[in-house]
Amino acid sequence: MPTIRLNDAEWTYDETAPLGPAGGFGEVFRGKGAAGPVAVKRLKLTASAAAHREMNIGQALSGRSLSHVVPVLDYGQDAGSDSYFLVMPICDRSLQDEIAAKGVLTLAEARTVALDVLAGLREVGDIVHRDLKPGNVLYFEGTWRLADFGIAKFVEDSTSLRTLRGSLTPAYGAPEQWNSEAPSRMTDVYALGCMFHTMLTGSPPFTGSRDEIREAHLHQPPPALGVDTLLSAFVGQMLRKTPAARPTIERCIEVIGSVETARTRPAHTGLLAAAGQVSREAAAAEAAAQAAATVERQRQQLVREATSELDAIIKRLFDEITEASEEARVAKDSIRLGRGTLVFGYATAVNRPAQRDAYGQAPAWEIAASATLSVTRAAIVRPARTPADVPIMYVGRATPDDRDYKWSATLFYGKSLEDPNYRWRETAFWRFARSRDGQDEPYALQPDDRDFQVAFSNTMGVASTAYGPLPIDGEDEDTFQHRWLTLFTKAVTGELNRPGQMPVPDHYLR
C-alpha cells in the first residue's frame, strides 16, 4: 500500500479499497495511521498543476472545533507522489448511501439532514462549500456532517472558475456556477434546495444530459416538491435563479425548523396551498426573466462581435482608397477625393421589439445590428463670373451636375428563415412614386423603420428594395469592396448619378 507523508504524520492507503464512488475533485480510500483506520482522500488536482500551492483550507479546518463538519486529521502535499491529500475519520455512511438504500426519506428525516447541513454551513460561515451534494454529507458520531469543505475553493484558487465548473456535480450546480461567476453562501443554499428534491422524491430537480441540466438550472423553474406546502414553497425560494433572492442560512434554519409545526394546522391548508401556487408562479416568472436576460447578454455579445467585424471591413475599404491616392482626405468616418465623399454610419444594435412586418408579426429578417454606407457626388461648381469679372448667365435646364447626388445603403447583420446564418448584408431602397422632397435613390432605411420590413414582405408599401440583400463579409467581401470602389470612382470623376432603372440591374453593381 502507498505511504504518504503529510503535514503531521505518515499514512498508508489501499487503492483497491475505495470508500464510495470517485467524485469530481478526487476519490477516497480506506487508509491507516498510527491511531487506526482512516479515510484518505486523494485530489485529482496535482501539485504541479496547482503550482505547489499551499493547501491552506485543510489548515483552516483542522484548527477549528466543528460539530457539523467532518474533522480533518491531516492534509497537504505528498512530495513523493505529487498529489494532495486529506485524511479524515471513516464515517458510517453518506447521505447518498442513505437515499440509495431507502429510495426516499421521510419529511422528518429530510428535515433533520437539512438542519444538520445548515448548522455546518453556519459553523464555517466564512467558507463557501461550493460542491454541496448528498455524497459530501456524511453521518458521523450521531449527526450528519459536511465533508470536502473548501476543496472546491482550493481547486478554484489553483486553476480557474471554468476548471471548477467542469468538476462540479451538474445536478447541484447553482446558476452562478454555470455562468462562471463567483459563488457565495447563497450558492450552498441553492444546492441544499436541490438536495431536498433528491431526499424527498429520489432525484434532483433537474435531470438529463449535462447541457439539459445546465439549461434547466439557468432558465427553468423547479418542479413542485409535492410535499408539505410550506416546505415546497420555501424550497422554491431556495432555488431562485438570482442569488440575492434566496433566503439566508439563518432564515433557512428558522423556516425548516418550523415545518412540522406548520403541518399540524389543517385550518391553514387552503392558504398554504395558495401560497405554494404563488411561489411556483414567482419561480416561473424569475426563470423567464433569467432566460430573457441570458438571451439579451448573448445578443449584446453578438452585436459587439458584429460591430468589430464591420469596422474591420470598412477600414479595409478606406485603406484601398488611401493607398490609391495621396490626395484622399480621411476623417474619422469619411473619406473624400475629387467630387466624391464616402461616409460610414457606425453600427448600432437593433432592438428586437422594433422589428415587425406590416401586420406586427415576426419580420422576414431578424436583425441584430445595422449601419449605413453612402457615397456622394458633389455638384459641379460653375464659375459665377469671367476672369474679367463679368457675370456669367446660364440658360437652359439644370443638369444632374448642378446638385449633389447621394447613393446610400443599409448594412445589416441578420439572418432569415431561408438563410439562418448571421452575416453582414447590404441593401437599399427606392420608391415607385418619385418623392417630392427630392429623396435620392437608392437610399438607406433603418431596420426599425416600418418601410424597411414592408419592403421585404408581400405587402404593397411606399418603399421597395432597389437591390439586395447582398452578403458582404467573408467570401463576399471582395465583391463588396469592388462595388463600392466603383461607385466611389464614379463619384470622384463626377459620373455617379441615379441609375436609369429600378430595381438596380445586376450588371450595374458589378
335 in the same domain as 236: no
What's residue 423's pLDDT? 92
What's residue 160's pLDDT? 45
What's residue 291's pLDDT? 76
Query: Can you tell me which residue has the cell 421589439?
Result: 353
Mean pLDDT in residue range 444-465:
86
What's residue 315's pLDDT? 94
What's residue 26's pLDDT? 81
User: What whole-number distance in Å separates Cα of residue 132 and Cα of residue 195?
Assistant: 9
What's residue 103's pLDDT? 95
Question: For residue 441, is pLDDT > 80?
Answer: yes
Of residues 458 and 38, which shows the higher confidence score?
Answer: 38
Residue 235 lies in a domain: yes
* Residues facing residue 376 across a β-bridge: 341, 406
User: What whole-number distance in Å separates Cα of residue 120 and Cα of residue 504?
Assistant: 74
What's residue 124's pLDDT? 85
Dihedral (CA of 183, 188, 191, 197) sign: negative
190 in the same domain as 83: yes
Mean pLDDT in residue range 349-371:
73
Cβ contact 445:430 at 8 Å: no
Cβ contact 201:225 at 8 Å: yes
Question: For residue 24, is pLDDT > 50?
Answer: yes
What's residue 311's pLDDT? 94
325 in the same domain as 233: no
Q: What are phi and psi of 328, to 5 degrees?
A: -65, 135
User: What whole-number distance in Å separates Cα of residue 489 and Cα of residue 342?
Assistant: 10
324 in the same domain as 258: no
Q: Which long-range contacts (CB under 8 A, 24 or more apart) does 308-311 make?
A: 309/424, 309/473, 310/347, 310/369, 310/371, 310/411, 310/413, 310/424, 310/473, 311/346, 311/347
User: What whole-number distance in Å separates Cα of residue 235 and Cα of residue 252?
Assistant: 9
Q: Which of 214, 247, 264 is the last residue of a domain?
A: 264
The neighbour count for residue 372, using CB atoms within 10 Å, is 19
177 in the same domain as 121: yes
308 in the same domain as 260: no
Residue 286 lies in a domain: no
Residue 14: Cβ-neighbour burial (10 angstroms; 0-12, 13-18, 19+): middle
Per-residue pLDDT tens digits for 168-197 = 789 999 999 998 888 899 999 999 999 999
Domain span at residue 56?
Answer: 3-264
What's residue 457's pLDDT? 80
Q: Per the structure block, which three cell numbers stand in for 278? A: 404563488
Cβ contact 462:453 at 8 Å: no
Residue 423 lies in a domain: yes
438 in the same domain as 349: yes
Per-residue pLDDT tens digits for 44-99 = 776 665 544 556 665 566 656 789 999 888 888 887 887 888 899 999 999 999 99
Mean pLDDT in residue range 319-342:
94
Question: For residue 488, is pLDDT > 70?
Answer: yes
Of residues 198 and 384, which shows the higher confidence score?
Answer: 198
Question: For residue 495, is pLDDT > 70?
Answer: yes
392 in the same domain as 243: no
What's residue 368's pLDDT? 92
What's residue 399's pLDDT? 66
User: What whole-number distance in Å separates Cα of residue 30 and Cα of residue 12?
Assistant: 9
Per-residue pLDDT tens digits for 284-319 = 787 777 777 777 887 888 898 899 999 999 999 999
Question: For residue 166, is pLDDT > 90?
Answer: no
What's residue 55's pLDDT? 61
Residue 273 lies in a domain: no
Q: What percent of the chain has pLDDT over 70?
A: 83
What's residue 261's pLDDT? 45
What's residue 395's pLDDT? 58
Angle at 240 between CA 235 and CA 241, to 5 degrees: 150
**What DSSP designation does 140 have?**
E
Residue 274 lies in a domain: no
User: What whole-number distance in Å separates Cα of residue 73 and Cα of residue 70?
Assistant: 9
What's residue 224's pLDDT? 84
* Residues facing residue 330 across a β-bridge: 335
17 in the same domain as 157: yes
Residue 32 lies in a domain: yes
* Number of domains comprising the chain: 2
Residue 352 lies in a domain: yes
What's residue 436's pLDDT? 47
Per-residue pLDDT tens digits for 130-140 = 889 999 999 99
219 in the same domain as 310: no
308 in the same domain as 228: no
User: What whole-number distance in Å separates Cα of residue 180 and Cα of residue 167?
Assistant: 12
What's residue 51's pLDDT? 43
For the chain, give the mean pLDDT: 84
311 in the same domain as 202: no
Whichever domain contains 255, its CATH number is 1.10.510.10
Q: Which of 241, 264, 287 is the last residue of a domain?
A: 264
Per-residue pLDDT tens digits for 455-478 = 888 777 789 999 999 999 988 999
User: What whole-number distance in Å separates Cα of residue 375 and Cα of residue 490?
Assistant: 10
Residue 269 lies in a domain: no
Most confident of 153-157, 160-164, 227-231: 227-231
Q: Which of 211, 238, 264 is the last residue of a domain?
A: 264
